[in-house]
Structure 1
Amino acid sequence: MYQGSAVRLQSLDGGLVELVLDLQGESVNKLNQLTQDEIQQAVTWLSSHASEVKGLLISSAKFLFIAGADITEFSSLFNLSHAEIEKWAWKYHNTLCELEALPFPTVAAVNGVALGGGLETALSADYRVLAEDAKIGLPEVTLGICPGWGGSVRLTRLVGAETAVDWLLSGKPKSAEVAKSLGLADAVVPSESVRDEALLFLQKVIADGDDYQAKRDFKHA
């Protein structure tokens, strides 16, 4: 299976696969170019081995899910043309679309925080299991940036335009309980067991034959 410096795939029982976010040499996971590229490579592996996979768990080996994009890399983008910046933004956007389209159910185990691109990554999964102390949000607006990886569209479909606009304009992180009340979180569980609970959730989805495709269709309606 795929093994990178920021992302790895590991086989679980019952035909399940776990995509583990674990950026080496850093205390937190962030969507730098390396991580983006490796998630793309992992998704490509999953697509090419789809007949062997029953479901995907997305988890973090660190104390948080994904802190967001690596803004230290942004300065190099300022020298690019409009077309080049657009190409850069579309690259990870397409990765998340490919992740969302995998032909088996996907569950994100969100611990700590999932901010900006971290939340957009979680939104590309069919289901989200959040730790009770998790915080999620799209704080890009505080830097004068709009979510560019599908977050504004997926969030609007899931929580409605009015709530999504509030999230997008305020940039304030929201609690797991708020996320659950809005339908962004399918379950809120004790922080110390979020990964194990998310795995159990994925196993139940498969055992029950849950219509995960309907979850995707709702985001695209």
Structure 2
Amino acid sequence: MYQTLLTNKENGILTITVNRPDKLNALNKTVMEEISMAVDEVCKDETIKAAIITGAGPKSFVAGADISEFIGLTVEEGKALAKKGQDVFFKIENAPKPIIACVNGFALGGGCELAMACHFRLASDNAKFGQPEVNLGLLPGYGGTQRLTQLIGKGRAIELMITGNMIDAATALQFGLVNYVVPQEELHGKALSILQVVLTKAPIAVAKCIAAANAVFSEKQDGFDVEVNAFGECFATADKVEGTTAFLEKRKPVFKGE
């Protein structure tokens, strides 16, 4: 189905692997289009409850964009490229189902931006993060300037972007860029263990948690209003009835996403 991605669905979790190990899984036009298609699949397929995004091989998650595609672009073409990349990553960020990044090696440039678009990140102990675009006379264009600042704070984000320096997994954990650091062979298992817990929760409530958290950073929405409305809408769901009834009956709830 895909030229540059491998997909595997198991127990409701779709693992999406960027598969260009000879290019350290660099993002090119095809990869971006296929990631967009894969995220559409996650959102639309009712049998998929959550997703993991990772990279093929032990060295790299995604080591950046394919720079050869940048040569000769005009100002307007550069803007269009950035807008297209942002649109794909907004799709990940706003997906109603959890999408976790498993960062197994280099997450640089567009790769770091891809990881940051996911709802949260796990890193292997050999992971490296960075936005080295200044070395090319550029800046992050797929949302990196915004998400890095949101995740680690303005001072640290600006330092990373204007030096082009990389940080290791331990520093990324200290900065709050990743939730966990584990040995590489445990990375996928750790993500699955978290998602298996999530999949026992009410899917509508999970989706609304994601939407409300995203609203914190939206200039078009008042996050508190989003929360109030989402909270109220949950009262019309069968899952809310099941959840509250199960609590009072001292049993585990069985949610159906209704």
2:20 corresponds to: 23
What pairs with 1:114-129 in structure 2 (closer than 5 Å)? 114-129=107-122
Report if aligned partners of 1:57, 1:198 keep a CA contact under 8 Å in 2.
yes
SS in 1 for 2:126: coil
Does the CA contact (< 8 Å) of 1:126 and 1:216 recur in 2?
Answer: no
Note if contact 2:7-2:14 (Cα within 8 Å) is conserved in structure 1: yes
Report the Cα offset of residue 27 of structure 1. Answer: 4.7
Q: 1:85 to 1:118 in 2, by over 3 A?
A: same
Deviation at 1:218, TM superposition (A): 4.6
Equivalent residue for 1:145, pick from 120, 138, 143: 138
Is 1:175 matched with 2:168? yes
Cα pair distance change 1:115/1:217, threshold 3 Å: same
Q: Shift of residue 23 of structure 1?
A: 2.1
Give me the TM-score of the superposition, normalised by structure 2. 0.76
CA-CA distance at 1:212 after TM superposition: 4.2
Cα distance in structure 2, aligned partners of 1:192 and 1:148:
32
Do 2:124 and 2:182's aligned partners in 1 also have CA atoms closer than 8 Å? yes
Shift of 1:152: 0.7
Distance 1:183 1:28 in 2: 25
| Identity of matched residues, % | 33
SS in 1 for 2:199: helix
Q: Deviations over 1:83-125 (max 9, x none)?
A: 2321122111100001111111111100111000000000011
Find runs of 4+ consecutive structure 1 residues off by over 3 angstroms: 205-221
Could you say which structure has the greater relative contact order, defined with CA pairs below 8 angstroms and 6 or more residues apart? 1
Amino acid at match of 2:4: A
Shift of 1:21: 1.1
User: What amino acid is aligned across from residue 34 of structure 2 in structure 1?
Assistant: E
- For structure 1, the residue ranges without an aligned partner over 5 or more in a row are none
Highest CA radius of gyration, 1 or 2? 2
- Name stretches of at least 5 consecutive residues in structure 2 with no aligned partner: 220-258
Q: How many correspondences in the alignment? A: 213
TM-score by length of 1: 0.88
SS in 1 for 2:174: helix
CA distance in 2, matches of 1:5, 1:198: 25
Query: Within the alignment, does 1:43 sit opposite 2:39 as a pair?
Result: yes
- 2:158 — aligned with what? 165
Q: CA deviation at 1:214?
A: 5.2
In structure 2, the residue corresponding to 1:65 is in which secondary structure?
strand
Q: How large is the Cα RMSD of the aligned pairs?
A: 2.0
Structure 1 counterpart of 2:92, from 72, 91, 99: 99
Work out the CA distance in 1 between the residues paired with 2:9 and 2:159. Answer: 39
